Amino acid sequence: MAASCRLCFAVLGLACCVCFTLSTCPRGQFGDSCSYSCHCEGGAACNPNTGKCPRACALQWKDGRNGICQRENVAFNKTATSTSGTFGGYNWTPDKAVDGSRNQDVHGGSCFHSAANYSSMWRVDLGRQYRIHHVTVYHRTEAAHNFLHRIANCTMHLSNDNSIDGTLCYTFPATIYNSVIDLVCDGSGRYLTIRNPGTAAEEDDTLNICEVEIYECSHGTYGEFCDKFCHCHNSSCEPNTGTCPGDCRPGWQGDRCNKECYGVHCKKPCAGRKCADTNSSCDRYNGSCDTGCLVGWTGDDCTQGSSKGTRPPTRQMTDHVVEEQGSPADVRIVR
């Protein structure tokens, strides 16, 4: 992780402190032990501590919350099929619904439009089984007509067999108000199918799907927006609750392995220290704060009462500078 360090010295009897950042994560990575990937648009570097991207997310990743791009669209550019044909010979084929474009005008050439008067279905092969929860469907909508009645009462299914629809995971409402539909399809499967039973208004059994995005949290993240972090040992956490199936990585504890700790057997919680900065790092061995202690506290882990006030961090600066990047406040070090 990147850490803020303070160097204090005296000049003509005046105490001076200089703060600088030690950027120890390679470009494109962040977080504890640099174990997370940024997924920023254009390969941009993210904040080495929080993972926040400076602009948008990469195409197949959706901004979960606060610029953290850890929700992957696992349907992007996967194989999509339909037994329903396409309307009027146009190039409105099933693959258009997973091409990464959210253009909802069918005439823009990026939507699937099934043949008319035919029981319609659409299916995407994700390539392997995924644990699925959040799905977003971009339906056709245009200035003159939104055609939302065509998705009403449609059903969504998950399966590991390409020959069947599989388990029902969602039924679209009888009345649809929004052309962008965020829904929960909770289950596991390799194939996701949308089927129009022809029971909506006007008994229209046509499908007009412009994009289907199926999200999975990246390794080590969980929650609705994939913006919460777990630190399981050699495994991923449960995508909704964050519970780890086994042990935590060193320096973490709790059911979700999301509580920092230090010391022998990691028995001391990092949250109990009195660091000068609430975002201070926590040394895995002695719990030292890289920003020093709050006034009135001392000790390596800033847990001992003192009347001497804030002190600089105890970290031994034995590293040597090998490269200067950007401004003098940004350096890269090797140990």
Q: What is the pLDDT of residues 92-137, one digit of tens each?
A: 999 999 999 999 999 999 999 998 766 799 999 999 999 898 999 9
CATH superfamily ID and name for 79-217: Galactose-binding domain-like (2.60.120.260)
- Does the predicted TM-score (pTM) go above 0.75? no
Closest CA to 77 of 90, 64, 58, 104: 58
* Average pLDDT for 239-255: 87
The answer to whether residue 199 scores a pLDDT higher than 80 is no
Closest CA to 96 of 76, 114, 110: 110
331: Cβ–Cβ under 8 A, 6 or more apart, which residues? 20, 21, 22, 23, 321, 323, 324, 325
Closest CA to 291 of 33, 31, 34, 21: 21
Burial class (CB in 10 A: 0-12, 13-18, 19+), 231: buried
How many percent of the chain have pLDDT more than 90? 47
* Average pLDDT for 309-331: 40
Q: Where are the domains of the chain?
A: 79-217
Q: Output the six-digit token pair for 116.
A: 């008319």
Burial class (CB in 10 A: 0-12, 13-18, 19+), 237: buried
Q: What is the pLDDT of residue 198?
A: 78
Q: What is the DSSP code (8-state) at residue 136?
A: E
Q: What gap in Å lies between CA 312 and CA 225, rounded to an integer?
A: 37
The DSSP code sequence of 2-63 is -EEEEEEEEETTEEEEEEEEE--SPTTEESGGG-EE--BGGG----TTT-B-SS-B-TTEE-
* Average pLDDT for 152-169: 96
Most distant CA pair in the chain, distance = 89
Q: What gap in Å lies between CA 176 and CA 196, rounded to an integer?
A: 14
Asked whether the CA dihedral 221, 64, 71, 213 is positive or negative, the reply is positive
Q: What is the pLDDT of residue 200?
A: 62
Q: What is the pLDDT of residue 54?
A: 93
Sequence letter at residue 77 = N
Q: Which of 61-75, 161-175, 312-326 has the highest mean pLDDT?
A: 161-175
Neighbours of 73 (CB within 10 A): 23
Q: What is the pLDDT of residue 203?
A: 64
Sequence letter at residue 316 = Q
Q: Give the CA dihedral 54, 58, 59, 60, nearest 10 degrees.
A: -130
79: Cβ–Cβ under 8 A, 6 or more apart, which residues? 95, 124, 125, 127
Three-state DSSP at 203 gives helix
Q: What is the pLDDT of residue 136?
A: 95
The answer to whether residue 323 scores a pLDDT higher than 70 is no
Higher pLDDT, 147 or 321: 147
pLDDT range class, residue 186, cuts 50, 70, 90: very high
